[in-house]
Structure 1
Amino acid sequence: MIFDEVDITKLPTNREEAFARYEAKIRIAFEQRRSNDREYNVDHNGNYEGFFEPERDYVNSILAFLDEYGLDTQLPDISELGDPEFIQRFNAFRSKVGYLTTRYALRAERFENGDAGTVIAIGQDYKSQIGEHLSKIRKIVNSEVKEGFKRDSIFKKVSSLQSEVDRDQTTIDAAFGRMIDLTQALGSAAENLKPAIDQLERVKEIFFGHSKRTDQLAAPNRPKQIEDKSQEGLDAPNTDDEIPF
């Protein structure tokens, strides 16, 4: 099975991001197996005589992940269809999977950049208060943390959180993700940093108590274009009179 050929031990914890990474690994193994399948399962005229096993295995590998991780994608199970219909539907299946992986990868990037998630805004007065607390954290760390690499790591986390605060809008995911990163960095420094942690707790209180959720525009309802067959056959020439008897 294709699944046995890929390493899934280091997938991201986010299930959508994990799917995008998983599908990329599965796709590489699938392409190799399909190449081998087409090389050995053809007759002397070059006609394929196989059973589309790599394609069916790809479908099962994708559906197994979606079911196990509870991702509702409305992808149909086409693995048991007969060969002609299966391979016809397979192309549409892969197209849909390609759309999903691209969408999930884009979403992961937007979450990382603070462009997706529940959008919040922070008033300028509260931004100033947060900036003061973060400045105090820097001073405490500079005074208490002796190891340069630990100090620099904490400073980077402080700057990352400050960049979210400075935005006109950020998201709960991005802001609290940065706060978690800073909390962990302070906790792993093994120094007397309780005063710095106390300052960070006040930052969290400001986010919880004084940030406002802002509405975002919904994604457009994009209609599917389908082939119009309502006029099919109406203009076809009558060939009965042209057939000689």
Structure 2
Amino acid sequence: MTPHYPDTSLQNPRASAFTARLYRISAFIAAYFLLTLAFVQLQRPDQPLAQPISHYLAGPYSSWLRMAAYLLGFSFALFGIAVRRTFRSPAGTLVMLLMLVSTLSIIITTRFHAPWPHPEHPVSLFDARLHFSSAVITFICAFMSMIVLTALIWRLEAFRRRRFIFATLNVTVFITLVLDPLLLSLQGGLEKLVTLQMLTWQILMIRYLLLEKRTIDTAFPVSAPATAAAARDSLAQRTFARLRR
């Protein structure tokens, strides 16, 4: 018979509220980045829609987008930590690690300018290669985290009616990532499209995790060893208090 361990996340509203706060801040920053990117695009008619996002990191309004990109890295970190607090499992840990790698790589991508030089901002070959490599790592790690987290909650009954939208986003992101290096003339537009798809997935996933929190807490209880250890500590404290009386 499988022992039942109480779900301490339901018994600790303070920890639960903190996790929800991490999710909300992460979603807010993701939405802020998309709005900033759209604003900069509208304010830069010299840059067509098919230009890569990297082109906007130099020139007018570049500081706005650069700050939004740094904040997006912070959003990834918050999302990964919140997922780990929600799913105390190897899959939850993997999602957190992937998002932390994405955080580091997007910071490097933003710090080092684009491989396409801007007249006012010359770019060295080292900076260009570092920028390109870290950008690729960001997209790959973010996509892998999407797949892992979607697979983790796929069998939940509450997730059944949302499978189509998340599966569609996963598939379209994969197709866009495959086409991006093949269609060089559309590379920038595809880069913006995959960014929109990924951040939309993140915002929708956060909304789902917050709405179905109790269902998820029941399906993914706190790991048995951690809960058992906490119960033993509590029992030892009560026993010691009785002996002192």
* Bin for the TM-score computed over the shorter chain: 0.3 to 0.5
Give the TM-score taking structure 2 as reference length.
Answer: 0.36
For the pair shown, the structure with the greater C-alpha radius of gyration is: 1
* Structure with a larger share of its residues in helix: 2
Greater relative contact order (CA < 8 Å, ≥ 6 in sequence): 2
